[in-house]
Amino acid sequence: MKTTMGIIGIMGSGEDATEQDMQMACALGSELARRNYIVLCGGRNSGVMKSVIQGVANEGGISVGILPGINKDDAAPGLTIPVVTGMGNARNIINILSSDVVIAIGNTAGTLSEIALTVKNGKYLIVLNQSKESEAFLRSLKYPKLVFAYTANEVMNQLNEWLQSY
């Protein structure tokens, strides 16, 4: 079932997230919530996940967190809907398959695994804050549903274009 609002998955690192990654995640969370998108992420109280949830909560939006463990207490403050899985990193496939569009912020190993799952499953993908090396590799895939963005505005413009035709 397709939601009329759209489910946007924000993927990014936890403890290894950079300040730039976290600022981008918070800004995107706020902007997505203002436009009534549902934001889905890993839900944990660290890094990109914590920051995107903060942005969504600041605007009174809806966030869904697919948690790796079995305890709701591991969720970031402000998370609207915690989903406990006990699946560890295997939960990443739930994140990808449940998202209409995936936005990947940064390039740690966990984020790169989510990018790979996105490509493998034919989902729309926007990537931000990539190293030159990872960007070159991703471009070499010639994946037609991949867009590189460098600002929150570019992300929102691409989302609007994709979701209008979705």
User: For 103-160, what is each residue's pLDDT tens digit?
Assistant: 999 988 999 999 999 999 999 999 998 889 999 999 999 999 999 999 999 999 999 8
Q: Which two tokens stand for residue 114?
A: 């989510």
CB 55 within 8 Å of CB 26: yes
CB 29 within 8 Å of CB 45: no
Q: Which two tokens stand for residue 156?
A: 């929102």
User: pLDDT at position 166, please?
Assistant: 60
Residue 141's domain is classified under what CATH number? 3.40.50.450
Q: What average pLDDT does the segment 13-38 reach?
A: 95
Q: What average pLDDT does the segment 13-41 reach?
A: 95
Q: Is residue 34 part of a domain?
A: yes
Provide the whole-model pTM.
Answer: 0.94
Q: Is residue 1 part of a domain?
A: no
User: pLDDT at position 30, please?
Assistant: 97
Q: For residue 93, give every residue at least 6 positions away whose Cβ sits within 8 Å of its Cβ, in sequence order, or none.
A: 117
Who has greater pLDDT, 108 or 30?
30
Q: For residue 131, give every residue at least 6 positions away whose Cβ sits within 8 Å of its Cβ, in sequence order, or none.
A: 107
CA distances from 148 to 3, 71, 136, 155 (A): 25, 35, 11, 9
Q: Is residue 165 part of a domain?
A: no
User: pLDDT at position 160, please?
Assistant: 87
Q: Is residue 166 part of a domain?
A: no
89: DSSP letter = G
What span, in angstroms and rounded, lies between the C-alpha atoms of 46 and 115? 19
How many distinct structural domains can be found in the chain? 1
What span, in angstroms and rounded, lies between the C-alpha atoms of 146 and 31? 21
Q: Which domain holds residue 85?
A: 7-160
| Average pLDDT, rounded, for the chain | 93
